[in-house]
Amino acid sequence: MKFDTPAGANPIDRMEVVGQPHTRIEGPLKTTGTATYSYEHKDIDPDPAYGYILGAGIAKGRIASIDVRDAEAAPGVLAVITAENAGPLKSGGFYVARPLAGPRVDHYHQAVALVVAGTFEQARAAAGLIRVEYTRGNGAFDLEAARGSGKPHPRQPDVTIGDFDHAFASAPVKIDETYTTPDQSHFMMEPHATIARWDGDSLTIWSAQQIVGWARRDLATKIGVPEDKIRIVATYIGGGFGGKGSVASDAILASLAARKTGRTVKVALPRPLMPNNTTHRPATVQRVRIGAGRDGRIAAIAHESWSGNLPGGGPEIAAAQSELLYAGANRYMRTRLAELDLPEGNAMRAPGEAPGMMALEVAMDELAEKLGMDPVELRVLNDTQTVPGQPDKPFSERRLIECLRTGADRFGWKNRNPVPGAVRDGRWLIGIGMAAAIRGAPIMPGAARVTLETDGTVTVESNMTDMGTGSYTVIGQTTAEMMGIPLDRVKVKLADTDYPEAFGGGGQAGAATATAGVYAACVKLREAVAAKLGFNEPEVEFAGGQVRSGNRRVPLTQAAEGGPITAEDKMEYGDLSKRFSQQTYGAHFCEVAVDAYTGEIRIRRMLAVCDAGRILNPVTARSQVIGGMVMGAGAALMEELVVDKRFGFFVNHDLASYEVPVHADIPAQEVIFLDGADPTISPVKAKGVGELGISGVAPAIANAVYNATGVRVREYPITLDKYLDRLPPVS
């Protein structure tokens, strides 16, 4: 099915099931512990083998020798896989890091061996018997030191519009500041985990994968097996945030081990191995320059970003959102990538926007202060309805001003004292801050298969995944709405490469893509049902379990009396993304309290206002947004993978020392969704929302801390060592 114009009469617009606050249909399974995650399948093989990964003890260099004899002789050991016996492993795909070191070591904790044994404990014990001698090389581990060697990257070319240098130099009010964001870890609840089994020359893996199509493609490339010989199943995923975008060491090595041993093999990464062995959000250094007239109108804006990665990796595109968020005739955006010998940097929730707005939205507040202007009004003044530099390219939908105004009104922004450090509550300094938000809303070609069963239920199949986002539920709602049946009459089957391609969970594209594919398949099923029942009229209504037209009403079940009816279709979009800039928007507001004596920061209240097209389910959408707000709080105040710049590894590679927010850190959160739909995005008119929830949160908190204390911290996270000695004296 092609989609390139707004739909006319559209069954999805009834909003009897779609848009309603249904709880997750798989919720009972998860809350009772009966949802089966990748590592937990017991019906695959009653006697699987277990793999344990040994990570490299250096960050850069070569393996001089590796002695596995004691490990091979240890009780229960079936095989020890190293680069010497693994067979050829090719590079390529979403992740560039090599899954197995040898003889070259690219980064700390890169796998040097996988021990396979009859039990997990046997494999772990034998891994400790492997003796590895290294020749240490000289590595680059410091972004600040390496950024001078940063180079352009084709993923994010420079953007030059107008004459930035002249406009900035002549602007009466300007700011020029540098901000830094640290390396961060996904640290999702479920570790990377895989079960692999070969049946002849065909491989099946049950693995925590956000995008099963990418996983199959990349696994095929890396181990040299045709794609059509690989099946990926990822029924439930315990969080991903981009860290499970494709196959990592667990899936690749489990596949190799299963082939070598002829056994079903289970591999899960111990949590301390995850930050250095897999991927992370890379650190950035960002310079933001903004020049404005005394009326607040931006005349010149520049955003430059530096990040680092392994050879072949890409940059953190932190300057990208500054191309779109605000008006300004003269613009300069530059992204530079330095080569570092740290573990791979790659996608983490809202890559680009989340760290980029940590700089841009603080810079906007600093500009507002210089202008003596309200921060909300500054952002409203500089709104734009067309892409800067592309006056003929509109946004598909843009209600940023409404987000800002709605949030300011709901949060009581007019009561904010703009004088930093002026509001006290006992020993607490009180501050209020805000930030705008933007996040891309891509939508991909997506397919689905739907079957009307003989009992009148409908089964929908899609390779879309659900990592806690609510995919099962919104796909079920879309099917129920289209077929005119209650949600409990829909069976949703997801996350299997045997099902039609629907992209997957990533890039804030999953829900919009998958539901549009389901819509297309349901249109075809409706046509088949109508034809089977003899309806010739162009207007046929599916509602209340019936097919209706005029005065005629036929039970839906009647169409399947001779057997199930199956339909499959795919939604495609032509040049839609070239004709519109497809984005989501938001505004974040935060109140903090800072202890005047100790500097302790406490978040008191948070508000997010979101413009994300049609909200398919306000319950699951809110869950995504508040989760993003929690992650944003972590990014602002605590999250940092600390780099040992001598030896090149992340020191705090466990949840004991990598701090994330807990219940005591997060107050009651409020989320407002603007009513509406985006008719240009798809017939479902919905966009993603999960990554919008984090974009802009951290700078809103940072701006609130400044309003409370008068101390500006431009180096995230905002920790005591960066501001305690600058707090105002206690009277």
pLDDT exceeds 90 at position 3: no
Please write the tens of the pLDDT for every residue from 673-719.
Answer: 999 999 999 999 999 999 999 999 999 999 999 999 999 999 999 99
Q: Report the alpha-carbon distance of residue 175 to residue 615 in Å, rounded.
A: 38
pLDDT exceeds 70 at position 5: no
Predicted pLDDT at 536: 80
Q: How many CB atoms lie within 10 A of CB 362?
A: 27
Collapsing DSSP states into helix, strand and coil, what is residue 12? helix
Please write the tens of the pLDDT for every residue from 328-350.
Answer: 999 999 999 999 999 999 999 99
- Residue 252, H or E segment: helix 249-261
Helices 510-532 and 471-483 cross at an angle (nearest 10°) of 30
Phi and psi angles of residue 523, each rounded to the nearest 5 degrees, phi first? -60, -45
Helices 618-637 and 697-709 cross at an angle (nearest 10°) of 50
Please write the tens of the pLDDT for every residue from 201-221.
Answer: 999 999 999 999 999 999 999
Strands 265-268 and 193-199: antiparallel
Show Cβ contacts of residue 246 under 8 Å, excluding neighbours closer than 6 positions.
Answer: 93, 94, 95, 209, 210, 211, 214, 215, 217, 218
Instruction: Identify which of 13, 205, 9, 81 has the alpha carbon closest to the alpha carbon of residue 686.
Output: 13
Show Cβ contacts of residue 470 under 8 Å, excluding neighbours closer than 6 positions.
Answer: 24, 511, 617, 619, 620, 621, 623, 624
Banded pLDDT at 8 (limits 50, 70, 90): low
Mean pLDDT of 423-445: 97
Q: How many CB atoms lie within 10 A of CB 494?
A: 26
Provide the phi-psi class of 312: left if phi over 0, else alpha when psi is between -120 and 50, else beta. Answer: left
Show Cβ contacts of residue 409 under 8 Å, excluding neighbours closer than 6 positions.
Answer: none
Q: Where are the beta strands (DSSP E) in 580-728?
A: 583-595, 601-611, 643-644, 649-650, 669-673
Banded pLDDT at 731 (limits 50, 70, 90): confident
- Residue 232, H or E segment: strand 230-233
> pLDDT > 90: what percent of the chain?
98
The sheet with strand 601-611 has its strands ordered as 424-425, 428-440, 583-595, 601-611, 669-673
Q: Report the alpha-carbon distance of residue 81 to residue 84 in Å, rounded.
A: 8
Predicted pLDDT at 538: 75
Please write the tens of the pLDDT for every residue from 176-186.
Answer: 999 999 999 99
Q: Could you tell me the pTM of the whole model?
A: 0.97
Banded pLDDT at 9 (limits 50, 70, 90): confident
Instruction: Identify which of 310, 222, 218, 177 has the alpha carbon closest to the alpha carbon of residue 648.
Output: 310
- Residue 510, H or E segment: helix 510-532
Both tokens of residue 202?
Answer: 């065909």
Both tokens of residue 192?
Answer: 């990377």
Mean pLDDT of 524-552: 93
Q: Residue 392 carries which side chain, given as an amino acid letter? A: D
Q: Report the alpha-carbon distance of residue 545 to residue 285 in Å, rounded.
A: 57
Predicted pLDDT at 689: 96
Q: Report the alpha-carbon distance of residue 680 to residue 370 in Å, rounded.
A: 39
Burial of 664 (0-12, 13-18, 19+ CB in 10 A): exposed
pLDDT exceeds 80 at position 441: yes
Predicted pLDDT at 114: 98
Banded pLDDT at 7 (limits 50, 70, 90): low
Q: Report the alpha-carbon distance of residue 658 to residue 660 in Å, rounded.
A: 7
Show Cβ contacts of residue 535 under 8 Å, excluding neighbours closer than 6 positions.
Answer: 547, 549, 552
Predicted pLDDT at 488: 98
Banded pLDDT at 6 (limits 50, 70, 90): low
Banded pLDDT at 496 (limits 50, 70, 90): very high
Beta bridge partner(s), residue 611: 585
Provide the annotated active-site residues: 691
Q: How many CB atoms lie within 10 A of CB 632?
A: 32
Note every long-range contact of 718-726, with CB atoms under 8 Å and residues 24 or more positions apart, other chains counting.
718/601, 718/636, 718/637, 719/637, 719/638, 720/599, 720/600, 723/599, 724/599
487 contacts 477 by C-beta, under 8 angstroms: yes
Q: Mean of the per-residue pLDDT values for the chain? A: 97
Collapsing DSSP states into helix, strand and coil, what is residue 663? helix
Helix, strand, coil distribution of the chain in percent, nearest 5: 30, 30, 45
Q: Where are the beta strands (DSSP E) in 12-149?
A: 49-55, 61-67, 77-81, 104-105, 111-117, 131-136
Mean pLDDT of 379-395: 96
Q: Residue 599 carries which side chain, given as an amino acid letter? A: G
